[in-house]
Structure 1
Amino acid sequence: MSKPKVLITRRWPVSVEKKLQQLYDVTLNHDDHPFSADELKQALQNYDAVCPTVCDSLPAEVLNVANKRCKILGNFGVGYNHIDIAAAKQQGLMVSNTPGVLTESTADIAMTLLLMSARRGAEGDRLVRAGQWSGWCPTHMMSSDVTGATLGLIGFGRIAQSMARKAHHGFGMKIIYFKPTPADPSIVTDLKAIRCETIEDLLPQCDYVSLHCPGGNDTRHLINQSMLNLMKPSAHLINTARGDVVDSKALIKALQEKRIAGAGLDVYEGEPNIDPGFLSLENVSLLPHLGSATIGTRTAMGEKVLENLAAFFAGEALPDRVA
């Protein structure tokens, strides 16, 4: 009996690729190039399973390709707003993701960006590398306190809760959050977290605001000029969620005009094409979408995809089905 044909759209950790080669008739992306729309259409026509990443845009016009062989999209990542879920359902395509395993690493990056932005870490690194540091002095590169400050979280799922634990228990930060419904009482009690009824209520209270909501049409430009105007001039915005949650032009203008103190970004609208306005700013810390980029996390993500593929080809329920 022939093995199912599986396509992996980008390079995965070697240990996971080896397992894929043992289990399936797998095609790997050896040069790790981003797939075009035409390549994705051909993949849907030629493979039983396609395993995309956030880099692979799968709108309806791609998913609706004729003569489709593919029956499952085993997404390598927890976010799936790059896939038109409604079109996938209409086409009878199952979609799975990789929840849970990237919680801590992404929360770590959110805290990293908060600290970088608060303490002007990226700016200081650039100064030293450029040979422009003339030595310590009492007023040089003064920055913002983190310990005891107020952290506001927009979205309060696994990653936001993990960041809240690190911030509250590690730095004594006060935690407030926005979520349409109240969080688990035990979590709220542990973190002494206070729920805000609206984002507009949350923003003026925060020294730091961290975004943890999904991407997509419902949250596109959730943080826009009017929302940024509600933040304190001393506040910092952190985004490890999805780039399109923030209106880049509005954020750049707010940073230029010092209407907020700083920002730390791991995700961007239209990435990897970053608005050049960010590149000339000193008060923004920029990372290249490193949220889940640890060896352990990325391996665990691949193992999650393997579990979903195994269940699918065995005719069993997918552990992490989203469509």
Structure 2
Amino acid sequence: MLIVADENIPLLDSFFGDIGEIRRVKGRGLTRHEVEDADVLLVRSVTRVNRELLEGTRVRFVGTATIGTDHVDVEWLKEQGIGFSAAPGCNARSVAEYVLAVISLFADQRDLCDWSDLSVGIVGAGNVGSELARMLERLDFEVKLCDPPRQDAEPENAETFVSLSEVLACDVVTFHTPLTRSGDHPTHHMVSGQQLAELSSEQLLINAGRGEVVDGAALLRRLDQPDAPVVALDVWEQEPAIDPGLVDKVWLATPHIAGYSLEGKMQGTEMVYQVLCRYLGLPIRKKAGQFLPEPALSKMSFTRNAVEDEALRLALSACYDPRKDDLRLRRVMKRAEGERAEAFDRLRRDYPVRRECSSLKIQLKGSSKSLQDRFRAIGFKLKI
């Protein structure tokens, strides 16, 4: 059995090596010729999987080690009897921790003693949005959720959701929707000139979902106007050939890596592996946890004199500081025009190991129950 797989999927040999021969390929620009003799195709979000790519090939199973599926023609695969698996929720905690890290930096910028004074509006209450909401609520933030498709589908929970306008009034507005271009609630350019005009310089806009949800041209115009919002983008229109002018204008710019924790990527591989094993009638013998290496930073200690907010945010930044990714991307954008797209993909391919907060044990000496609860809310392991 031949498995053609995106070279950026971790632990390919560990999970799939005893199932078949593995051929690693570059995911972006994958051609029909590269997959025509494959039995299994494993991809990430940079590969368009459709009739054009697969018709006439031997491929009988497609797995995407990502939470989204807008790059896959799922209906066509179903019509052809081709097995399919995504990895919904695999990196939800990674993206949620990314957003928390960005909010922490924003709170520093505004010199807030208590970052939970900020209200947070979440657009898209799927795996990522729901995980983020749970963490923020346990940290005592005021949270508002906007998800029109869920609101329509769950009339019994209608009061759980608010309108986009209400969310846009929050101090922080963060987007975690799939990319859709049709239906009752399309998300393509959901954020354009009208929505951006409602935001002020006192607000933070985060997009760590899909780049095309935000109209980049409209955002660029808004950032040149007075009282423009503070903007953090992890996803972009036209990836990997993103607009260097927009990178230059936003407050924080990262190269589509919000979900790139080691745990998130490995869980994505594991979820596809499990579905493939069921499809082939094979036993499931492996779990991501058995391959996790020891983290570089394994323990932090705080005494009874620790200030709650400062301690919490210090531990969060020790696990992940988005300013490092911001610097890497800005350096890339200074290169010649013909080099930027490839360099953007290289930032993702060669991304350094980033561990989630669950990898860090926090020792608390004489601390309050409140601080203990807040550390647990983010996912840290505690030693009291």
User: What range is the shorter-chain TM-score in?
Assistant: 0.7 to 0.9
TM-score (ref. length: structure 2): 0.65
Partner of 1:321: none
1:114 aligns with 2:78: no
Q: CA deviation at 1:37?
A: 4.3
2:193 aligns with one of 219, 225, 236? 225
CA 1:277–1:142 in 2, change beyond 3 Å: closer, same or farther?
farther
Partner of 1:101: 90
Partner of 1:234: 202
Q: CA deviation at 1:260?
A: 3.2
* Distance in 2 between residues matched to 1:297 and 1:305, nearest whole Å: 13
Q: What whole-Å deviation, never above 9, does each CA across 1:214-245 have from its counterpart, x for those lacking one?
A: 11323111111111122344211111111111
Kept after mapping to 1: 8 A contact 2:234/2:257 = yes
Identify which of structures 1 and 2 has the higher relative contact order when contacts are C-alpha pairs closer than 8 Å and 6+ apart: 1
Q: CA deviation at 1:152?
A: 0.6
Partner of 1:12: 9
1:162 aligns with 2:131: yes
* Distance in 2 between residues matched to 1:79 and 1:212, nearest whole Å: 11
Partner of 2:62: 73
* Distance in 1 between residues matched to 2:23 and 2:243, nearest whole Å: 34
Partner of 2:118: 149
* Distance in 2 between residues matched to 1:284 and 1:12, nearest whole Å: 30
CA 1:91–1:158 in 2, change beyond 3 Å: closer, same or farther?
same
Query: Aligned with 1:57: secondary structure?
Result: coil
Query: Aligned with 1:303: secondary structure?
Result: helix
Query: Aligned with 2:18: secondary structure?
Result: helix
Partner of 1:24: 20
Kept after mapping to 1: 8 A contact 2:87/2:272 = yes
Q: CA deviation at 1:35?
A: 4.1
Moved more, 5-14 or 266-275: 5-14
Aligned AA (2:276): L
Kept after mapping to 1: 8 A contact 2:6/2:27 = yes
1:207 aligns with 2:171: yes
* Distance in 2 between residues matched to 1:102 and 1:112, nearest whole Å: 15
Identity of aligned residues (%): 22
Q: CA deviation at 1:274?
A: 1.5
Query: Aligned with 2:252: secondary structure?
Result: strand
Q: CA deviation at 1:157?
A: 1.8
Query: Aligned with 1:8: secondary structure?
Result: strand
* Distance in 2 between residues matched to 1:81 and 1:258, nearest whole Å: 35
1:56 aligns with 2:47: yes
Partner of 2:215: 247
The count of corresponding residues between Structure 1 and Structure 2 is: 275
Kept after mapping to 1: 8 A contact 2:173/2:206 = yes
Q: CA deviation at 1:249?
A: 1.1
* Distance in 2 between residues matched to 1:58 and 1:182, nearest whole Å: 30
Q: What whole-Å deviation, never above 9, does each CA across 1:58-94 have from its counterpart, x for those lacking one?
A: 244324x3x2211111111111111122333333333
Kept after mapping to 2: 8 A contact 1:117/1:264 = no
CA 1:76–1:239 in 2, change beyond 3 Å: closer, same or farther?
same
CA 1:228–1:103 in 2, change beyond 3 Å: closer, same or farther?
same
* Distance in 1 between residues matched to 2:266 and 2:134, nearest whole Å: 24
1:195 aligns with one of 117, 136, 161? 161
CA 1:287–1:220 in 2, change beyond 3 Å: closer, same or farther?
same
In structure 1, stretches of 5+ residues that fail to align are: 121-140, 317-323
Kept after mapping to 2: 8 A contact 1:5/1:47 = yes
1:89 aligns with one of 67, 71, 78? 78
Partner of 1:298: 265
* Distance in 1 between residues matched to 2:112 and 2:248, nearest whole Å: 19
Q: For the aligned residues, what is the CA RMSD?
A: 2.8
Kept after mapping to 1: 8 A contact 2:201/2:230 = no
Kept after mapping to 1: 8 A contact 2:121/2:170 = yes
Partner of 2:252: 285
TM-score (ref. length: structure 1): 0.76
Kept after mapping to 1: 8 A contact 2:4/2:41 = yes
Aligned AA (2:161): R
1:263 aligns with one of 231, 250, 267? 231
* Distance in 1 between residues matched to 2:226 and 2:19, nearest whole Å: 55
Aligned AA (1:214): P
Aligned AA (1:168): E
* Distance in 1 between residues matched to 2:128 and 2:247, nearest whole Å: 27
Partner of 1:173: 141
